[in-house]
Amino acid sequence: MSKYITTPIYYVNGEAHIGHAYTTFIADTTARYERLKGNETYFLTGTDEHGQKIEESAQKHGKDTQIFANEISATFKDLWDEFEISYSKFIRTTDKDHMAGVQKAFLKMFDKGDIYKDFYEGHYCVSCETFFPETQLLDAEFCPDCGRSTSIVKEESYFFKLSEYEDKLLKHYEDNPDFIMPRSRANEVKNFVKGGLR
């Protein structure tokens, strides 16, 4: 059996901290365990280098965005190497092959009609890079995750037609009972999908 294990790809707006290490150690432990069991295991980690807060952090440090991203990304890689994390690949979203892969996937979805252009307007937290529904805001203004002030942002965006896949996903969960692990979480996931994917 082959296994694919990935950490999140970490944002390079700041240096690695113990939270990143915690996640990476768990993924590394799992990868080593799968290899010991004889499973062919591909273990991915890396850095996400696209986002407004990365640009803002770079400006704060008086650095060009890519140079800043290079430096922070290297602190992650160096740390994982110091701990002998057994990753198969350290990927960066600024890697040429990653860009080519994203373009290929994007075009395939675009050609299928799963990606369309539209406008999105909502309360946006720059720090969390997340839109929040009004009902989740603290005192009708502040981000529920970090407490910072949100602002109304309207932007033209590409959207993925996730709603088209509700029924397909639910059927996939039924046909593959081990798809969601641990199984005790399956109902939670199914109910989330049944609640509508936007």
Provide the binding-site residues for Zn ion, judged by CB under 5 A. 125, 127-128, 143, 145-146
CB of 125 to Zn ion, least distance (A): 3
Phi-psi region of 113 (alpha: psi -120 to 50; beta: other; left: phi over 0): left
Query: What gap in Å lies between CA 56 and CA 10, rounded to an integer?
Result: 16
Q: Which is nearer to Zn ion, 26 or 146 (CB)?
A: 146
CB of 175 to Zn ion, least distance (A): 38
Q: Which is nearer to Zn ion, 63 or 144 (CB)?
A: 144
CB of 11 to Zn ion, least distance (A): 13
Q: Which is nearer to Zn ion, 128 or 170 (CB)?
A: 128
CB of 158 to Zn ion, least distance (A): 23
Q: Which is nearer to Zn ion, 54 or 91 (CB)?
A: 54
Q: Give Cα 22 distance to the centre of its chain.
A: 17
Residue 154 phi, psi dihedral angles, 5° rounding: -115, 125
Burial class of residue 152 (count of CB atoms within 10 Å of its CB; 0-12, 13-18, 19+) = exposed
